Structure 1
Amino acid sequence: MSRPHFDTSTYTAQLDEKVERLNALLAPFAAPAPQVFESPREHYRLRAEFRLWREGEQRHYAMFEAGDKHTPIFFDDFPIASRKINALMPLLKSAWQASSVLSFKLFQVEFLTTLSGDALVTLCYHRPLDGAWQAEAEKLAADLQVSIIGRSKGKRLVIGRDYVEEQLQVAGRTYRYRQPEGAFTQPNGEVCQQMLGWAYDALGERQDDLLELYCGNGNFTLPLATRVRKVLATEISKTSVNAALANLADNSVDNVTLVRLSAEELTEALNEVRPFRRLADVDLKSYDFGCVFVDPPRAGMDPDTCELTRRFERILYISCNPETLAANIAQLSDTHQVTRCALFDQFPYTHHMEAGVLLERR
């Protein structure tokens, strides 16, 4: 199978189709026209994952079409990936071709990079990793000036750090983020900055408090915290919670209380269905919430969490799935109306898109 061709000349037409689709989904709610944030045409993706396919004595970077795990598409470069990934790909390939220790039963390579130039490479193996591998990996990490993680069944060896460090600009301030290997991060850094700026502006300067659900590593938490009196943020992933706490400390943001709870559990806590030990030191009644910010997974908010957001005057919603966004808005449309809307083209050359809406009480 031939490799896919990312034709930059088709970008505008594809983006126009996404705008039409979002407009159609939000038309029943009389939403305003979306503000559209374009992506760079090339080198926008900060993450990439390749299987390695062996032909003769050589291993090649490979991907597969959905549903076909037998016909590889080979890559020597990857135009949609960051320049850092493209620079590392041939260097890493030369390294494993020159070292049987590095190449033996190596089956997958993952890259994680940042706009600020940091990089982490994960090498996945169908064999145990030993001292010989670690010695080779340490030399490779020094040569490439990256962190390396080796993964095999039941084992994870870290050479350097198990996260990358990102810097993002929002409203004239630089925020520093630790982005752990294996945890979710926004793949398109340039568009992520645009999303943060839009959310920062939509929230506005306020004298009350913010509730944030699904906060992840604090991607939105850091800039939004500067717009309100204090924030109560929740996240269920332990890895993301640890990263968020580090990011809050690294950026000297001290008005955020972060609790490891799911959105469903927090709904139960706020509705006083049952107590949670993780909230034992949190006085929920001390908060004066004027807005709730949500960035849920593709499934959107469950019905109970959606009902929870109804009690707030303003709902700021970032969505990676406009279909579930529309379903959630339908549930809320009798009490809230869409007053601002945005489309963020996180995923050029695919049908996926990110959207943002501000809902305000009627």
Structure 2
Amino acid sequence: MPQLDPTPYAAQLAEKKARLQTLLAPFDAPEPEVFDSPGEHYRLRAEFRLWREGEDRHYAMFAAGDKHTPILLEDFPVASQRINELMPRLKAAWADPVIGFKLFQVEFLTTLAGDALITLCYHRPLDDAWRVAAERVAAALGVSLIGRSRGKRIVIGKDYAEEELLVAGRRFRYRQPEGAFTQPNGIICQKMLNWAVEVLGERDDDLLELYCGNGNFTLPLSTRVRKVLATEISKSSVNAALANLEGNGIDNIELVRLSAEELTQALNEVRPFRRLAGIDLKGYQFGSVFVDPPRAGMDPDTCELTRRFERILYISCNPETLAANLAQLNDTHKIVRCALFDQFPWTHHMESGVLLERR
């Protein structure tokens, strides 16, 4: 794959800033702080299909909406150095028919800390012979390796990658499970965490967090408040978050497996939840709420819930749905800080953040 030309990057980033300013203009937002990304080797995750041409097979990707015209790859400059180093070595390994037979997809998960997890997906059952061969490959590459076929999952090593991020002078360690959501651009993720911790500031009250995932933001934000109540619906993410709390020695976070909508019902006393047994919701002194919702943004009821708090810290992967949520909040809260995080260079996607305070 040809090397990326860095010259258009500044212009593209300026266009993203202008688009964000236009979306936030109705809310009298200050000028956004802009956090740029390296132009290459920023993506810690990558997924490839395998494409056969004659006797050869290649890593392949497809343009959006086209599943029939492969883009054949020998390397992938936007992916991490670790992924690019592993791609040819793994390709050599699938020449072994035990590894390569009916292999159709490869997924890489790497970290800034240098860890790597590879998932191999097959259109055939996996057996003991595959396990033996896969153990050799994992040892040779220095990675954990997972084999997936219909109804079967074999783990060689760990089923997660280990990350370490520096936030406000402290190092936080994270388990990032295979198949669970993790931030794809680790450098930008670290910048987002530092920005979020800075703008929240030191508080003597409590924080509510919705959509907490594996605790990516939860851990550093917990150092700025008295207590945190964090919610997440994905079981694998909850398990990873619990391991991350223990691994970092953090004891002021209570984690519950509820959706944002369910927690809204619980706080509104619409109905009780057994998963909240033993948790005194009325004992919290919430001053701030942190949200990092999916692309659809917050639903109207959850958005209405956030209105109760003095401060709303909102990280968004979709500026259009962020703007829709801000329209609902604008009469009670004003934007005092905002930022653009260029998580996905060379695309139209962007991550943004706003801090809102009660008017």
- When the two structures are superposed, what TM-score results if normalisation uses the length of structure 1? 0.98
Structure-2 separation of matches of 1:133 and 1:54: 21
What is the match of residue 7 of structure 1?
5
Match of 1:23 among 2, 21, 24: 21
What is the match of residue 135 of structure 1?
132
What is the match of residue 84 of structure 1?
82
User: Which letter maps to 2:314?
Assistant: Y
Match of 2:70 among 69, 72, 94: 72
- Is there any run of 5+ residues in structure 1 with no aligned partner, and where? none
Q: Deviation at 1:4? A: 7.4
Structure-2 separation of matches of 1:158 and 1:329: 44
What is the match of residue 33 of structure 2?
35
What is the match of residue 118 of structure 2?
121
Q: Deviation at 1:7? A: 2.3
Structure-1 separation of matches of 2:145 and 2:184: 19
What is the match of residue 290 of structure 1?
287
User: Which letter maps to 2:85?
Assistant: A
Count residues with an aligned counterpart.
Answer: 359
Structure-2 separation of matches of 1:178 and 1:62: 28
Structure-1 separation of matches of 2:69 and 2:339: 38
Q: Deviation at 1:6? A: 3.1
Per-residue CA deviations over 1:214-238 (Å, capped at 9, x if unaligned) read: 0000000000000000000000000
Residues 6, 349 of structure 1: 8 Å contact kept: no
What is the match of residue 101 of structure 1?
98
What is the match of residue 61 of structure 2?
63
Secondary structure at 2:94's aligned position in 1? helix
Q: Deviation at 1:56? A: 1.2
Match of 2:143 among 127, 146, 149: 146
User: Which letter maps to 2:111?
Assistant: T
RMSD: 0.8
Q: Does 1:234 align with 2:236?
A: no
Structure-1 separation of matches of 2:39 and 2:166: 20
Identity across aligned pairs (percent)?
A: 77
- When the two structures are superposed, what TM-score results if normalisation uses the length of structure 2? 0.99
Q: Deviation at 1:91? A: 0.3
Secondary structure at 1:175's aligned position in 2? strand
Residues 3, 77 of structure 2: 8 Å contact kept: no
Residues 121, 148 of structure 2: 8 Å contact kept: yes
User: Which letter maps to 2:310?
Assistant: E
Q: Does 1:111 align with 2:108?
A: yes
What is the match of residue 200 of structure 2?
203
Structure-2 separation of matches of 1:269 and 1:39: 40
Secondary structure at 2:224's aligned position in 1? coil
Residues 311, 357 of structure 2: 8 Å contact kept: yes
Q: Does 1:361 align with 2:344?
A: no
What is the match of residue 245 of structure 1?
242
Q: Deviation at 1:5? A: 6.2
- Is there any run of 5+ residues in structure 2 with no aligned partner, and where? none
Per-residue CA deviations over 1:11-32 (Å, capped at 9, x if unaligned) read: 1111001000000000000000
User: Which letter maps to 1:176?
Assistant: R
Secondary structure at 1:9's aligned position in 2? coil
